[in-house]
Amino acid sequence: MDRIWLKCPRKSVQNEVTHQHSQDDEAQPQQRNTSKKKTSEQRVQQQSQAGVKAKHTCDQCGKAFTRKPDLTVHQRIHSGSKPFNCDQCGKNFTQSSTLINHKVIHTGVKKFECDECGKTFSHSGHLKDHVLIHRGTKAHRCEQCGKTFTLRSNLTSHMKTHSRAEEKPHGCDVCGKRFGNKAHLKIHMRIHTGEKPYGCEICGKTFIEKKKLKRHMMVHTGEKPYGCDVCGKQFRHKTYLKSHMFIHSGEKPYKCDVCQKRFITKHEVINHMRIHTGEKPFTCDVCGQSFSYKRSLSYHMSDHTGEKPYKCDVCGKDFNSKSDRNRHMKIHTGEKPFSCDVCQRQFSRKSYLKMHMLTHTQEKPYVCDVCQKRFIQKRVLNRHMRIH
C-alpha cells in the first residue's frame, strides 16, 4: 500500500505566531517612547476615555492626575515651594529638571548658534525663540485687540493689560493706575497728595508707608543682614540681594516688549518703558517741569533748594545724590572697575568706557546739522558748533 504523507501546519502556524510576536516587540519600544513624550494631561485624557479614573486630584484647583508625583509637583505652584536650590546663585526651582537647565547659565557654555546672525544661546529653546525674530513669525495673536507677538510669554504679559480692570478693580482717579485692594490704592494716593505720615525720629525724613520707614531705619542702624555668597557684599533687603545675584549669573529675566532690551529687575523695565511712551509722571511743584524718573526730579529740586545732603568724607565736597558722591569717591580711591576688552585700559565710570570704545569701533554718533561733520563725543560737537 502506498503511504500518504500529510503536511502538518503546526510549524507554519508557529512561525506565523513567532513573526507576529517579533512585530509586536518591535512596535512596543516605539509606543513606549511615544508615551514618554505625553504630558500628564494627555495621559489623564486618554485614560478617562478608556474608562480609567484619575486617582489624584488637586484640592485647590481641581486638576486631576493619575500619578501622585505629578500631583506633588503641581501643588508647588499653589504653595510656592521651590525645593531645588542653585548652589551658585541661590535661585530656587520647583523641579530638578529646571534647575539642571538653569545651571548651564553659570558654565558660560552657549553651544546653540544662530545661522543668520551668529548669536549663541545656552539652550536650544532660546535659539528657536530667537530664530522667529529673523523669520518675522508672530504666531501668537491677542483675541481682544488683534496685536501679534513672536513669543507666547509676550502675549501673556500683554493680556494683563486687558484683564487689569477685572483683576484690579480699584483705580486711581489721577493717573489711572489700578490696584487689587482699596488699601493699596489709599497708599498710592499719597504720591499725588504728597502726604507722608510716617516720619524718622533720627533724621526727620518722612515716608508714605510704614514698611518704607522700617527699611529706611537700617540706614541709621547699619544693619545689612543679607550677604552675597559670591563676592561678600551685604544688603539691607533680600530683594536687593536677589537683584545683585543676577550680576554674577549674567541673567536678565525682564524684557522690554517694544525693543527687546533685557533688564535685571522689573523696576528697570518700568522705568525704561517711559522712553517709548514719553511718560513723565514726576512734576516739580515749583516750576512745573516734568520728569520721567523720580531721581531726576530729586536732582532738579536741589536746584531750587540748594540742598546737597551727601558729603565726601575726604575732601568735603557736597552732592545732590548718594550715587554722585559714590562716583566721586573713586577719584580718591583710584578705583577703576571698568576695563576695555581691546586695549585693557581701565575707567572709573561705565560711561567713560562706553565713550572710549568708540575709538576702537570708529563710530561717530554725533553729527553737525550744518556741515554734517561727525564726532565721537557730544561736548566736542558742541565746541564745534561755535564755528558756525
Q: Are 272 and 260 contacting, i.e. CB atoms less than 8 angstroms apart?
A: no
Measured distance CA(78)–CA(353) in Å, rounded: 46
Measured distance CA(313)–CA(315) in Å, rounded: 6
Query: Strands 120-121 and 112-113, how do they pair?
Result: antiparallel
Average the pLDDT over 218-247 and give the result. 86
Measured distance CA(91)–CA(245) in Å, rounded: 9
Is pLDDT of 177 > 80? yes
Q: Give 218: exposed, middle or buried? Use CB within 10 Å, 0-12, 13-18, 19+.
A: middle
* Polymer length of the chain: 388
pLDDT of 199 reads 92
The larger pLDDT score, comparing residue 346 to residue 377, is at: 346
Neighbouring residues of 385: CB distance < 8 A, sequence distance ≥ 6: 368, 370
Is pLDDT of 17 > 70? no
Average the pLDDT over 340-348 and give the result. 87
Measured distance CA(239)–CA(260) in Å, rounded: 24
Measured distance CA(77)–CA(98) in Å, rounded: 14
Amino acid identity, position 275: I
What digits encode the pLDDT tens for the residues 312-338? 888 988 887 788 888 888 888 888 888
Is pLDDT of 14 > 50? no
What digits encode the pLDDT tens for the residues 129-170? 777 777 777 888 888 788 887 777 778 777 766 665 566 778
Amino acid identity, position 151: L
Is pLDDT of 173 > 60? yes
What digits encode the pLDDT tens for the residues 194-230? 899 999 998 888 999 988 898 888 888 888 888 888 8
pTM: 0.36
Measured distance CA(87)–CA(181) in Å, rounded: 37
Could you tell me which of 361, 384, 352 has the C-alpha nearest to residue 371?
384
Dihedral (Cα; 52, 55, 58, 61), 10-degree rounding? 30
* Average pLDDT score, the chain: 78
Is pLDDT of 36 > 50? no
